[in-house]
Structure 1
Amino acid sequence: MRFSRNVMGTAFVGGALSLTLAALAYPSMLGLETTSTSGDRIIANTQWGPLTEADRSFVVAVRAAGLWEYPVGFIGLQKGQSPAVKTASEHLIDGHAALDTTCRKIAPMLNITIPNVASPQQVGFVSKLQAAQGQQFDIEFANILRQTHGSIFNTVAKIRSTTKNTLVRALADQANDTVLDHITVMEKTGMVDFDQTLFNQTTPPKLPQADLTPPVPAAGEQMIVLTPPPTATSTPVDIDAASVAGGVTPAPAPTAGGVVGQ
């Protein structure tokens, strides 16, 4: 619980930081808005296969999702009124801790800058849930998280089916299982308003890019780690296995201007 408070505190302080450089470090692919570009431009050739803009955005999006959903899991354990909401909260903590481990492993291997703070929109979701009380908390918890997971589910599938990068593909495999699990446990609460949720997924709000993009970490800033719970059942990607899957051979070093996260 001590760690979760540190994560949340950092998120709300960081949410007020300037976002001027954020769009340069990684394009928006977060929250409830989908990207308008194909993202198929190759930005680096790595020994695990070519890395595209969409691949990079996906790694950033998975990390950012954990930075708000992991602490929300602890909030749900504290404030949830129903056993189903508490169970869903446990799944959030477990699943995102494992995904975060994978993200933190592969990001430096691919030279991707990952955030330490969720996007302002995502921080807003946390604030809304912190303010909710009683049964209203359970209802908003189930609907917000069903909506956000449903929004990213198609993106996970697209990355899994199109990426040529072995590490990104392995992360997409893990994310697919995790997101589907989280969608399922939210639905099992019996509180999801499917009409409203599906409408929100197909008609996302038009928000400024600054609201959808997490701030870039300051130079030398210590990376936040989402610690797995003692009863963790989710496991991170076996990086050694992922590195050799598909017989990937080393590719030339990235060309000038193709370095990610600069």
Structure 2
Amino acid sequence: MGGALSVTLVALAYPSMLGITTVSSAPDRVIANTQWGPLTESDRDFVVKVRAAGLWEYPVGQMGVQKGSSKGVITASQHLIDGHSALDTTCRKIAPMLNITLPNIASPQQVGFVNQLASDSKGQQFDKDFANILRMTHGSIFNTVAKIRSTTKNSLVRALADQANDTVLDHITVMEQTGLVDFDQTLFQQTTPPKLPKSDLTPPPPGAGQPPIVLTPPPTATSTPVDIDRLAGGAAPAPAPVPTVG
């Protein structure tokens, strides 16, 4: 039952605009009718956005565990790895059920965040940049999660939004608990994002036949993916072997 799907289009086009903000030509337009409810452009973009977030925040979490010089930053880093590996599992589970193509690389803007933190030496500068960048990006996505949760008619997307809401709130909280967040600066950047070209905000689509990269859960994982098999009323198709990051 999990693999059964009726779509109005042969394939769902890759999202044209993703990043801190979502700009869609018709966000409420239904692009597929599925057994779990209609899927809109906004729904599709949200699934890809959650996946893209993990593709840069997960490695930043690994970086923070190694380069963080304060207990708060190391704890926040562990939460990034834990939370995004669980979200990644849910995204990879529901994407083929909804015929959504997932990226394997974050957007150029997001890769820029990774490069900025990678260039910081271990110590106060890294800790400060880490806490403020991650607080800004999570604050930016928080309203998007709430909007999707309150408007989507698709039960799989709704379940992902529930999980994302808990994860994003947790990550906002642990960033603030580092004591390093400059709220004036961070909230300004959050509410007044730079006007970047679409190419900077769009994660590139995967190559033909390229399997989705897996964000491996840590041995001490506490975050739990959505039980999609139970939600869908049957077992979803077993995924093919895929490369891992961990």
Indicate the TM-score class for this superposition, using the shorter chain for normalisation.
Answer: 0.7 to 0.9
Is residue 182 of structure 2 the alignment partner of residue 193 of structure 1? Answer: yes
Larger RCO (CA under 8 A, 6+ residues apart): 1
Residues 63-105 of structure 1, C-alpha deviations (whole Å, 9 max, x = no match): 0000000000010001000000000000000000000000000
What amino acid is the match of 2:48?
V
> Which of 86, 96, 101 in structure 2 is aligned with 1:98?
86
CA contact (8 A) 2:70 2:127 kept: yes
Is the partner of 1:143 in helix, strand or coil?
A: helix
Q: RMSD across aligned C-alpha pairs, in angstroms?
A: 1.1
Q: Distance in 1 between matches of 2:190 and 2:14?
A: 26
Q: CA deviation at 1:27?
A: 2.6
Deviating beyond 2 angstroms after TM superposition, the runs of 4 or more aligned structure 1 residues are 32-38, 240-244
Q: Distance in 1 between matches of 2:43 and 2:178?
A: 33
Question: What does 1:59-98 correspond to in 2, within 5 Å?
Answer: 59-98=47-86
Q: Distance in 2 between matches of 1:217 and 1:37?
A: 23
Is the partner of 1:25 in helix, strand or coil?
A: coil
> Which of 54, 58, 65 in structure 1 is aligned with 2:46?
58
What amino acid is the match of 1:60?
V
CA contact (8 A) 2:17 2:24 kept: no
Q: Distance in 1 between matches of 2:98 and 2:24?
A: 24
Give the direction of change, closer, same or farther, for the CA distance of 1:204–1:34 in structure 2 (3 Å limit): farther
Percent identical among aligned pairs is: 76
Question: Which runs of 5 or more residues in structure 1 are unaligned?
Answer: 1-23, 245-262
The count of residues paired between Structure 1 and Structure 2 equals 220
> Which of 113, 123, 145 in structure 1 is aligned with 2:111?
123
What amino acid is the match of 1:52?
T
Q: Distance in 1 between matches of 2:136 and 2:25?
A: 22
Question: What does 1:165-244 correspond to in 2, within 5 Å?
Answer: 165-244=154-233
CA contact (8 A) 1:33 1:205 kept: no
Question: Which runs of 5 or more residues in structure 2 are unaligned?
Answer: 1-12, 234-246
